[in-house]
Amino acid sequence: MIDLHLIRSEPDQVTAALARRGVPASEIEAVIALDATHRALMQRQEALRAEVKSLSREVGAAKKVGDEAAASALADRSRELGDAERAAAHEAEEVGEQVRSLLLVIPNLPADEAPDGLSEDDNVVTERWWPGSDVGDPEPTYAEHQRVPHWEVGEQLRLLDMERGAKIAGSMFPLYRGFGARLLRSLGQLALDAHLDAYEEIRPPTFALTETLTATGHLPKFSDEAYLMERDDLWAIPTAEVPLTSMHRGEILAEADLPIRFTAQTACFRREAGAAGRDTRGLLRVHEFDKVELFAYVTAEQAHAAHLDILERAEGLLRSLGLEYRILDLCCGDIGGSAARTFDLEVYSPGVDRWLEVSSVSWFRDYQARRANVRYRPAAGGSPVLCHTVNGSALAWARIWAALVETGRQADGSVHLPEVLAPYLKGQLVIEVPVA
């Protein structure tokens, strides 16, 4: 969340920054007003507590000189003020919780470098790559046999069975089979191996506590998008970012240990509550998908390099897979609520003739670390400082899978896969058309 002290000291700057995200000034004004009320109540509580202590001393003094009548009157007054102090404390606690509730849904301040704009139409394409673009080859063209959507390719080659997935769990839960399942598994192993030079592999729980999702900013604002197991008060994770951000929740780290980097492959669960009326065929929008995530705790000075490292790793994987992609610098109105700056990577999927988001790489400043209370102790001494966090997908596999089978489809209906996957598929890089 945003630093409340910053809102108090620089309200105009905070309001102007959030206006770039479309946040009305009234939301900040509401926080400022409630915060003033909260502080006034706390001051009243402290004043009453001080008066009670003073009366207690007077009661003792009166008893010491034998003035029982005065002592009794003072004690009665002390009890009255004690009741008033407890009432003020309760009221202050309630208002303080209201302040926190407002802060939990206010998005992060966007980075100065983030493009202006309020919708995806204002995002800026900063780079586009395709095989051969590095040496000046012309833009790719795609043959008719590559213009077949992946759900048809998956059905023809017995790789994807959306019908049986729906039979088991309902619509938008894919079922991969045979070589399709092997391909999905190989992608995850490829990515994990590529990141182990600098990132510690983690296998976190698939379910998380409410405070774990609150730490990343997924709760309370995006509760409609998540799956809740009410009986146990556990949430199915929407991304490995959620458990990785809380790996050191409530801890003080040593500056010498930063950056601390993690990678994890997990299943991810999203309701896609806003998907009604949108194209949800095949793997374009699903409730469950596998993804490899990269995450780091860093200092403010390390954040830029860590952000770029994740972006470059995601790009490197896409290039090794030979997929055409582009990078979008998201405008202020399109970045996620917790992020200050985000780059999205999209691959071109010729069978559906669409750019598909496969990675979102974000810097969060200290927004998440403040919610999770993750700090580090400066090497030079002094008070603990909040960490910054960065994370990104490298990569999300459902849409990569779709782009690979469409791009790699041959005129005879078979699919040729990139050479980089050979070690994970025992050298088998051609998915043949099944014999009828």
Q: What is the mean pLDDT of the chain?
A: 96
pTM listed for this prediction: 0.93
**What is residue 71's predicted lDDT score, i.e. its pLDDT?**
85
Unique residue bearing structure tokens 């995530």? 293
Q: Is the pLDDT of residue 125 over 80?
A: yes
Whether residue 145 has pLDDT greater than 70:
yes
**Cis peptide upstream of residue 259 (ω within 30 degrees of 0):** yes
Calculate mean pLDDT across residues 258-262: 98
Q: Where are the alpha helices (DSSP H) in 321-423?
A: 367-372, 397-407
Q: What is the pLDDT of residues 271-305, one digit of tens each?
A: 987 655 557 899 999 999 999 999 999 999 999 99
* 255-272 average pLDDT score: 97
In the prediction, which pLDDT does 280 show? 82
Q: Which CATH class is domain 120-431?
A: alpha beta
Token pair 């990104």 is found at 392
Give the model confidence (pLDDT) of 41-96 as tens digits: 999 999 999 998 898 898 889 888 888 888 888 888 889 998 999 999 999 999 99
pLDDT in tens, 148-166: 999 999 999 999 999 999 9
* Residue 424: closest CA among 261, 93, 187: 187
Please give the CATH topology (third level) of the domain spanning 4-105: Helix Hairpins (1.10.287)
Confidence band, pLDDT 50/70/90 cuts, at residue 414: very high
pLDDT digits (tens, 9 = 90+) for 315-367: 999 999 999 999 999 999 999 999 999 999 999 999 999 999 999 999 999 99
- Gap between the Cα atoms of 297 and 261, Å rounded: 7
Contact, 214 vs 220, CB < 8 A? yes
Q: End-to-end distance of the chain based on CA atoms, in angstroms?
A: 58
Residue 75 pLDDT: 86
Q: In the chain, where are the structural domains located?
A: 4-105, 120-431
Question: Do 216 and 242 contact (CB within 8 A), yes or no?
Answer: yes
Mean pLDDT within 111-123: 97
8 A C-beta contact, residue 285 and residue 362: no
